[in-house]
Amino acid sequence: MLSHKFCIAPMIDYTDRHCRYFFRKLTKKAFLYSEMVVADAIVYGDKDFFLKFNDSEHSVALQIAGSNPKNLSYAAKCGEDYGYDEINFNLGCPSKRVQEGNFGACLMNDLDLVESCLTSMIKSVNIPVTVKCRIGIDEDDPYVVLPIMIERLKKIGIKTIIIHARKAILNGLDPKENREIPPLDYDLVRLIKRKWPDLNLVLNGGVNSIEKAKKELNSNKYDPDGVMMGRAAYIDPFLLTNIDHIFFDEKKRDQTRFDIVKEMIPYIETEISCGVYLNHITRHMLGLFHGVKGAKLWRSYLSENAPKRKNDINVIKEALIKIEEVQKEVV
Ligand SMILES: Cc1cc2nc3c(=O)[nH]c(=O)nc-3n(C[C@H](O)[C@H](O)[C@H](O)COP(=O)(O)O)c2cc1C
């Protein structure tokens, strides 16, 4: 089984293939997740658009949402054919649009349907099918509903479960609030690990620093097998350069932020030559200088110029020169 010790969360509009390519320059070992893709979009839409990715992204999972077992199994098979390492089923998204389609977190209310969806996906592929869920929804008592669900998932052969350790409130909170307001309950995740030690369990929600990740993986014998980081990795991607060393015993990397940008340039040039707009890639790199001198200049130069000069790689080279100059200034 591929290691889930450190995963980077699926984030819609964020973790597209360009973002994942960029993350891969920062860590070779973290397990990457695609944005949520609705199964029907794969069935009826442009498969290359939804599924194509760069070989260097491995290990990478495709996250699928839906509630039609037939379409889900077809979408999972397409994911396998495109080369993804894992299919992850979304049982955590609380948005209204997703509820209208009867998928995401609201499915935690209908375990029979969850079972049919997962069983049909498992049957159609030879790669692992995993789940990302909440600890419960609305009025649920998570200490009752979560173990019931996990028991059933285990019975049908699910071995890896990523738990976003807070409830989803489907009526009354929007997706952003649903990532902040319902309290986190890491104890429940540890309780699940204690009940099912053979389960490959990944803790998600509020893991916002390397220190926190280390702590959650090393506090007692019921620790999760892995952590999944979302927002913090996007806001301050350079922190990912510590992962391979800290969590996977790899040699410490001495890459600088400048090295990372330089390593991205050939990829950006190739993508531009295929018709991709510069800002579709650079938008994921805005946080690279987070917390260091020149961060604001880097961000504003790219945000202002990349959307206007869509095919011009010089924008990024100019931004790099500007930030080099600022960093050389003696205060
Ligand atoms: C902009 C954004 C988009 C998200 N999109 C998805 C998604 O497509 N699928 C999913 O399972 N979770 C999605 N999430 C939730 C994250 O995967 C994660 O569960 C959540 O942000 C909590 O982790 P964090 O505290 O480390 O950010 C999204 C979160 C954000 C901030």
User: Which pLDDT score is estimated for 85?
Assistant: 98
Radius of gyration of the chain (CA): 20
Q: Which of 6, 8, 12, 64 to mutate to test ligand 1, by most ligand atoms within 8 A of the CB atom? A: 12
pLDDT more than 90, % of the chain: 95
Give the residue among 250, 312, 319 at the shortest CA–CA distance from 289. 319
Looking at ligand 1, which residue's alpha carbon is closest to its atom 31?
231
**Contact present, 24 and 260 (Cβ < 8 Å):** no
Has residue 236 got a pLDDT over 70?
yes
Fold observed for domain 257-328: Four Helix Bundle (Hemerythrin (Met), subunit A) (1.20.120)
Question: Which ligand 1 atom is at minimum distance from the Cα of 92?
Answer: 11
**Alpha-carbon distance 123 to 115, whole Å?**
12
User: Which pLDDT score is estimated for 331?
Assistant: 60
pLDDT (average), residues 295-317: 97
pLDDT (average), residues 40-52: 98
**Alpha-carbon distance 34 to 54, whole Å?**
12
**Contact present, 133 and 163 (Cβ < 8 Å):** yes
User: Which pLDDT score is estimated for 328?
Assistant: 87
pLDDT (average), residues 217-221: 88
User: Which pLDDT score is estimated for 329?
Assistant: 83
* pLDDT single digits (tens) 3-33: 999 999 999 999 999 999 999 999 999 999 9
Q: How far is the CA of 65 from the centre of ligand 1 (A)?
A: 14
Looking at ligand 1, which residue's alpha carbon is closest to its atom 21?
230
Phi and psi dihedrals of 287, rounded to 5? -85, 0
User: Which pLDDT score is estimated for 283?
Assistant: 98
Lowest mean pLDDT among 25-34, 111-120, 154-163, 211-220: 211-220
CA distances from 184 to 29, 150, 178, 217 (A): 27, 18, 11, 16
**Alpha-carbon distance 201 to 192, whole Å?**
9
Q: How many CB atoms lie within 10 A of CB 292?
A: 13
pLDDT more than 70, % of the chain: 99
Give the residue among 100, 30, 40 at the shortest CA–CA distance from 64. 40
Q: How confident is the model at residue 219 (pLDDT cuts 50, 70, 90)?
A: confident
Q: How far is the CA of 8 from the centre of ligand 1 (A)?
A: 9
> CATH classification of 6-248, choosing from 3.20.20.70, 3.40.47.10, 3.80.10.10, 3.90.700.10?
3.20.20.70
**Contact present, 4 and 229 (Cβ < 8 Å):** no
Looking at ligand 1, which residue's alpha carbon is closest to its atom 2?
11
Using a 6 Å CB cutoff, which residues line ligand 1? 9-12, 14, 35-36, 63, 90, 92-93, 132, 164, 179, 204-207, 229-232
Q: How confident is the model at residue 253 (pLDDT cuts 50, 70, 90)?
A: confident
Has residue 221 got a pLDDT over 90?
no
Has residue 330 got a pLDDT over 70?
no
The verdict on whether 93 is a catalytic residue reads yes
* pLDDT single digits (tens) 265-305: 999 999 999 999 999 999 999 999 999 999 999 999 999 99
**Alpha-carbon distance 325 to 288, whole Å?**
17
* pLDDT single digits (tens) 134-184: 999 999 999 999 999 999 999 999 999 999 999 999 989 999 999 999 999
Q: Where are the domains of the chain?
A: 6-248, 257-328
Question: Which ligand 1 atom is at minimum distance from the Cα of 204?
Answer: 23
Q: How many CB atoms lie within 10 A of CB 140?
A: 17
Residue appearing with tokens 């990478």:
60
